[in-house]
Amino acid sequence: MLNHGISSAGHRFEGAYFNLLIPTWAVNVARIVKQTCGAISFSIAPYFRRFGFYRILVASSIGMMIIKGTAVILNNFVTPFIQSCVNILYGTSATAESALLQQELSSKQRATMGSIVSLFGGILSAVICWGVGIVADLSSVYFAVIMLICSNLFISAGYYWMLKKYK
Protein backbone atom coordinates (compact mmCIF):
# COMPACT_ATOMS: atom_id res chain seq x y z
CA MET A 1 0.00 0.00 0.00
CA LEU A 2 2.80 2.39 0.90
CA ASN A 3 4.70 1.44 -2.26
CA HIS A 4 1.52 2.02 -4.30
CA GLY A 5 1.06 5.48 -2.79
CA ILE A 6 4.66 6.51 -3.41
CA SER A 7 4.65 5.19 -6.98
CA SER A 8 1.38 6.94 -7.75
CA ALA A 9 2.67 10.23 -6.33
CA GLY A 10 5.89 9.86 -8.33
CA HIS A 11 3.93 9.24 -11.53
CA ARG A 12 1.83 12.36 -10.98
CA PHE A 13 4.84 14.50 -10.04
CA GLU A 14 7.14 13.47 -12.89
CA GLY A 15 5.36 15.77 -15.37
CA ALA A 16 6.40 18.79 -13.31
CA TYR A 17 9.96 17.48 -13.21
CA PHE A 18 9.98 16.82 -16.96
CA ASN A 19 8.79 20.39 -17.62
CA LEU A 20 12.00 21.68 -16.06
CA LEU A 21 14.14 19.68 -18.49
CA ILE A 22 12.32 19.67 -21.83
CA PRO A 23 9.70 21.79 -23.63
CA THR A 24 6.05 21.15 -22.79
CA TRP A 25 5.31 19.48 -26.12
CA ALA A 26 8.16 17.00 -25.53
CA VAL A 27 6.66 15.96 -22.18
CA ASN A 28 3.78 14.44 -24.13
CA VAL A 29 6.24 12.59 -26.36
CA ALA A 30 7.98 11.20 -23.25
CA ARG A 31 4.60 10.08 -21.90
CA ILE A 32 3.83 8.33 -25.21
CA VAL A 33 7.17 6.53 -24.97
CA LYS A 34 6.34 5.54 -21.39
CA GLN A 35 2.91 4.14 -22.29
CA THR A 36 4.31 2.30 -25.32
CA CYS A 37 6.99 0.70 -23.17
CA GLY A 38 4.29 -0.35 -20.70
CA ALA A 39 2.21 -1.97 -23.45
CA ILE A 40 5.25 -3.85 -24.72
CA SER A 41 6.06 -4.96 -21.18
CA PHE A 42 2.62 -6.44 -20.58
CA SER A 43 2.75 -8.25 -23.91
CA ILE A 44 6.11 -9.91 -23.15
CA ALA A 45 5.37 -10.67 -19.47
CA PRO A 46 4.05 -14.22 -20.09
CA TYR A 47 7.37 -15.24 -21.62
CA PHE A 48 9.16 -14.65 -18.30
CA ARG A 49 7.00 -17.03 -16.22
CA ARG A 50 9.64 -19.73 -16.29
CA PHE A 51 11.95 -17.62 -14.09
CA GLY A 52 9.48 -17.57 -11.20
CA PHE A 53 7.31 -14.70 -10.06
CA TYR A 54 9.38 -13.76 -7.02
CA ARG A 55 12.58 -13.46 -9.10
CA ILE A 56 10.77 -11.46 -11.76
CA LEU A 57 9.34 -9.10 -9.16
CA VAL A 58 12.70 -8.49 -7.49
CA ALA A 59 14.65 -8.16 -10.77
CA SER A 60 12.06 -5.80 -12.27
CA SER A 61 12.03 -3.60 -9.19
CA ILE A 62 15.82 -3.41 -9.06
CA GLY A 63 15.93 -2.63 -12.78
CA MET A 64 13.34 0.13 -12.39
CA MET A 65 15.29 1.70 -9.53
CA ILE A 66 18.52 1.60 -11.54
CA ILE A 67 16.88 3.22 -14.57
CA LYS A 68 15.19 5.92 -12.48
CA GLY A 69 18.36 6.63 -10.52
CA THR A 70 20.49 6.86 -13.65
CA ALA A 71 18.01 9.20 -15.31
CA VAL A 72 17.81 11.52 -12.31
CA ILE A 73 21.58 11.59 -11.86
CA LEU A 74 21.98 12.67 -15.51
CA ASN A 75 19.39 15.45 -15.01
CA ASN A 76 19.39 16.74 -18.60
CA PHE A 77 17.13 16.66 -21.66
CA VAL A 78 17.40 12.85 -22.09
CA THR A 79 16.27 12.19 -18.49
CA PRO A 80 12.52 12.11 -19.28
CA PHE A 81 13.04 9.62 -22.10
CA ILE A 82 15.31 7.37 -20.02
CA GLN A 83 12.88 7.53 -17.14
CA SER A 84 10.04 6.66 -19.52
CA CYS A 85 11.81 3.41 -20.31
CA VAL A 86 11.10 2.28 -16.73
CA ASN A 87 7.74 1.04 -17.97
CA ILE A 88 9.46 -1.67 -20.02
CA LEU A 89 9.76 -3.47 -16.67
CA TYR A 90 6.44 -2.36 -15.16
CA GLY A 91 4.28 -4.96 -16.90
CA THR A 92 6.46 -7.86 -15.81
CA SER A 93 6.55 -6.51 -12.26
CA ALA A 94 2.78 -5.95 -12.07
CA THR A 95 2.06 -9.39 -13.56
CA ALA A 96 4.42 -11.10 -11.10
CA GLU A 97 2.95 -9.22 -8.14
CA SER A 98 -0.57 -10.14 -9.21
CA ALA A 99 0.37 -13.80 -9.68
CA LEU A 100 1.97 -13.94 -6.23
CA LEU A 101 -1.19 -12.49 -4.69
CA GLN A 102 -3.29 -15.03 -6.63
CA GLN A 103 -1.24 -17.85 -5.13
CA GLU A 104 -1.33 -16.59 -1.55
CA LEU A 105 -4.86 -15.26 -1.09
CA SER A 106 -8.35 -16.70 -1.56
CA SER A 107 -10.89 -15.00 -3.85
CA LYS A 108 -12.60 -13.20 -0.96
CA GLN A 109 -9.29 -12.06 0.47
CA ARG A 110 -8.12 -10.77 -2.91
CA ALA A 111 -11.32 -8.77 -3.41
CA THR A 112 -11.12 -7.27 0.06
CA MET A 113 -7.38 -6.56 -0.13
CA GLY A 114 -7.78 -4.96 -3.56
CA SER A 115 -10.40 -2.58 -2.20
CA ILE A 116 -8.38 -1.75 0.91
CA VAL A 117 -5.16 -1.20 -1.03
CA SER A 118 -6.97 0.96 -3.57
CA LEU A 119 -8.68 3.11 -0.92
CA PHE A 120 -5.74 3.65 1.38
CA GLY A 121 -3.27 3.80 -1.52
CA GLY A 122 -5.25 6.69 -3.00
CA ILE A 123 -5.43 8.51 0.33
CA LEU A 124 -1.73 7.91 0.93
CA SER A 125 -0.92 9.10 -2.59
CA ALA A 126 -2.75 12.38 -1.93
CA VAL A 127 -0.85 12.91 1.33
CA ILE A 128 2.48 12.06 -0.33
CA CYS A 129 1.75 14.39 -3.27
CA TRP A 130 1.04 17.18 -0.80
CA GLY A 131 4.28 16.47 1.10
CA VAL A 132 6.34 16.25 -2.09
CA GLY A 133 4.85 19.53 -3.25
CA ILE A 134 5.91 21.20 -0.02
CA VAL A 135 9.41 19.74 -0.30
CA ALA A 136 9.65 20.91 -3.93
CA ASP A 137 8.52 24.42 -2.95
CA LEU A 138 10.96 24.66 -0.05
CA SER A 139 13.99 23.17 -1.82
CA SER A 140 13.75 22.07 -5.45
CA VAL A 141 11.85 19.72 -7.71
CA TYR A 142 15.06 17.76 -8.25
CA PHE A 143 15.43 17.09 -4.51
CA ALA A 144 11.77 16.07 -4.27
CA VAL A 145 12.21 13.54 -7.10
CA ILE A 146 15.33 12.12 -5.45
CA MET A 147 13.42 11.86 -2.17
CA LEU A 148 10.62 9.92 -3.91
CA ILE A 149 13.06 7.51 -5.55
CA CYS A 150 14.95 6.90 -2.30
CA SER A 151 11.79 6.34 -0.29
CA ASN A 152 10.51 3.92 -2.94
CA LEU A 153 13.84 2.09 -2.80
CA PHE A 154 13.73 1.69 0.98
CA ILE A 155 10.09 0.59 1.01
CA SER A 156 10.72 -1.94 -1.79
CA ALA A 157 13.82 -3.31 -0.06
CA GLY A 158 11.89 -3.82 3.17
CA TYR A 159 9.00 -5.38 1.31
CA TYR A 160 11.21 -7.92 -0.46
CA TRP A 161 13.15 -8.66 2.71
CA MET A 162 9.89 -9.46 4.51
CA LEU A 163 8.61 -11.49 1.56
CA LYS A 164 11.77 -13.57 1.50
CA LYS A 165 11.91 -13.98 5.27
CA TYR A 166 8.32 -15.17 5.65
CA LYS A 167 8.04 -17.13 2.41
84-93: per-residue pLDDT in tens?
999 999 999 8
Q: How far apart are the first and last CA of the chain?
A: 19
Q: How far apart are CA 123 and CA 89, in angstroms?
A: 26
Domain assignment of residue 94, given as a range? 2-166
47-61: per-residue pLDDT in tens?
888 888 888 888 888
Count structural domains, the chain.
1
Neighbours of 67 (CB within 10 A): 18
Neighbours of 141 (CB within 10 A): 20
Q: Give the per-residue pLDDT at 19.
A: 92
This prediction has a pTM of 0.81
* pLDDT category of residue 31 using cuts at 50, 70 and 90: very high
Q: How far out from the chain centre does Cα 33 lie?
A: 16
CATH number at residue 43: 1.20.1250.20
